[in-house]
Amino acid sequence: MGKRAPILIGTLVVVAGLALLVWIPLSGLAPEPVYQGRALSDWPVQLTDSDSQAERDQAALAVRLVGTNAIPTLLQMLGSQESPFRTKYLAWRRGWYHPLGFHLRRLPNNFARAQAGFDELGPSAALAVPDLIKILDENRSRECLDRTAAVLGNIGPGAKAAVPSLLRHAVSANRV
């Protein structure tokens, strides 16, 4: 098998590469909007994580200028499922400190970032209401549902179709 192994491995790599090239366009993944050479998903990170008010203002402006084209990316961020492992890991290490005295940080929060992006869009994000209702009606983490409800509230009257789902969410969270 000495001479055949490199040929077999090379063939498998080429086939896998071709399969990936075919899969990406067929997967339905739309290219992410770009503003000033940066992907849209970078701006909500800067919006929520930057210590500089000027950088947060720049990120807010970027999201507003991308406008409703930002909705698919923000929906993907908001609707992303946390893995059961991540959820259990965060619960396990909550309040746990490193032996050298360093507090371990939480993993990045896409829910908060997506909410910040939607907040910048405000009522113009009304196009996302049907998808936000779907997120509310699915069995998601409490934080995801709470942030989705906040996004709908920030959209305002354009989100009136979400009222029944919001009421179910509030009842299930024992908040009514």
Per-residue pLDDT tens digits for 131-172: 999 998 886 778 888 899 999 999 999 999 999 988 888 877
Can you name the residues that pair with 107 across neighbouring β-strands?
Answer: none
Question: Is there a contact between 117 and 70 (Cβ–Cβ < 8 Å)?
Answer: yes
Q: Which residues contact 144 (CB under 8 A, 6 or more apart)?
A: 78, 79, 82, 111, 135
> Which residue intervals of the chain are DSSP H helices?
4-26, 42-49, 53-66, 71-79, 84-93, 110-121, 129-137, 142-155, 163-172
What local confidence, expressed as pLDDT, does residue 86 receive?
57
* Stated pTM of the model: 0.68
pLDDT (tens digit per residue) in 53-97: 999 999 999 999 999 999 999 998 887 765 666 556 555 555 555
